[in-house]
Amino acid sequence: MEATLPQPAAVPSEPTVPAKSQTKRYIKKAIKRIIPLLLFIAVPIAFEIYWIPIVFGIYFCFGLIDVMRNTRRTIGTIDRYFFGNGFFTWFLAPFNLLLDLACLPFRNKGVYNITDLPQGHQDEINALIEATQKRDLLAQLESKMGDKKRAMIFFKWYSKNIDTTLDVPEFHKKWKYIRTIGISIFNKKSSTGKHFGPLRVSLRVLYNINTMEGKNAYIRVGSHTHYWSEKKLFIFDDTLQHRSVNETDGLRACMFVDILRPSLVPWLNRAILTSVRLIMAPFRAVFYQHWTFIK
């Protein structure tokens, strides 16, 4: 009689999950993962859709107020300000308008006579002109100019002295109000395009070194035209649209000077310019890309 082997106990089988239930479970998991991702993307987009038009509108209003300071309000001026080389001026418009308020009661006149400035500013400008007249700078610059269209040499840039081959110790001394000292040289039949300076924390002082004849060398700021043959000194706010022209057959060389705007809080303007120097030093060549630097 054969022995009967014990049979293994039956293992209960797992309940079969219907395919529809599995699909629902996967969908729920996917939704739980996708919703946070959608919120992460959608919330910033919704924020931008809401705020960008508001910020743009505010900026546009500031820019419109700023560009209307120009006395030559043509379509070309407005187009150049918002979409051309005045874009950085537009970008800084709120800050520049705030500076105008901070400098009160010294109102921004746009174009200045030297007598419009406080006595301390006048004294430094006159001292710089006197130092320039004592030096035969033009002869030295002519030898360096060659066939260059436009050239620039800096002795001081936002208070920092720059080493040059032209030895003018007076330019390197410590000034209270003057921050930048350079010379811009235009070769014959050379001009700039219309452009805007970006920042209104200083005024631009130009002093023509050489004697010009006739009315073919000038600077135009808005509707104001200044002829170098009539007066060698010109002071203006360079955030206004301007253009320098030399249609003569000789060189035109101008002292290129930035002086702090008159203010009841001059330390603030000095601090801003120091910050600008530190920030903009690596990008200086961008703003003078159409110029040749000489030493």
Closest by Cα among 204, 180, 188, 181 to 252: 188
What pLDDT score was predicted for residue 1?
47
CA–CA gap between residue 280 and residue 275 (Å, rounded): 8
**Residue 117: HSE in the Cβ half-sphere, 13 Å Cα cutoff:** 27
pTM recorded for the entire structure: 0.81
Residue 5 host element (H or E): none
The model's pLDDT over 10-45, given as tens digits with 9 standing for 90+, comes to: 555 555 545 556 666 666 666 666 667 666 666 666
Question: What was the pLDDT predicted at 223?
Answer: 92
- Is 157 a residue whose pLDDT tops 90? no
Residues 120, 101: Cα–Cα separation, whole Å: 21
CA-CA distances (angstroms) from residue 15 to 12, 18, 27, 126? 9, 9, 21, 100
Per residue in 41-89, pLDDT tens? 666 666 667 667 787 788 899 999 999 999 988 999 999 999 998 998 9
Report the percent of the chain where pLDDT is more than 70.
Answer: 80
Q: Which residue type is seen at 64?
A: L
Residue carrying the six token digits 């379509």: 75
Average pLDDT over residues 185-200: 92
pLDDT, position 73: 87
Residues 6+ positions from 295 with CB-CB distance below 8 Å: 153, 163, 164, 165
Token look-up 């920042």 returns 199
β-bridge partners, 111: 236
Residue whose tokens read 């006739």: 214
List residues bridging with 258 in a β-sheet.
180, 204
Rounded-to-integer distance, Cα 145 and Cα 253, Å: 11
How high is the pLDDT of residue 168? 87
List pLDDT tens digits, range 211-233. Answer: 999 999 999 999 999 999 999 99
| 122-143 pLDDT, tens digit each | 999 999 999 998 888 888 888 7
pLDDT for residue 111 = 97
102: Cβ contacts below 8 Å, ≥ 6 apart: 263, 265, 268
Query: Which residues neighbour 207 within 8 Å (Cβ) at sequence distance 6 or greater?
Result: 128, 129, 132, 232, 233, 234, 254, 255, 257
pLDDT attached to residue 97 = 95
Domains and CATH numbers, the chain: 106-293 (2.60.120.330)
Q: What sections of 10-154 are H helices per DSSP?
A: 19-67, 75-83, 87-91, 93-102, 119-133, 137-145
Angle (CA) 258-68-269 rounded to 5° is 30
Our measurement of the distance from residue 256's CA atom to the centroid of its chain's CA atoms, rounded to an integer in Å, reads 17
* pLDDT score recorded for residue 37: 63
Six-digit token string for 258: 């930035």
Among the residue ranges 26-40, 79-93, 186-200, 245-259, the one predicted with the least confidence is 26-40
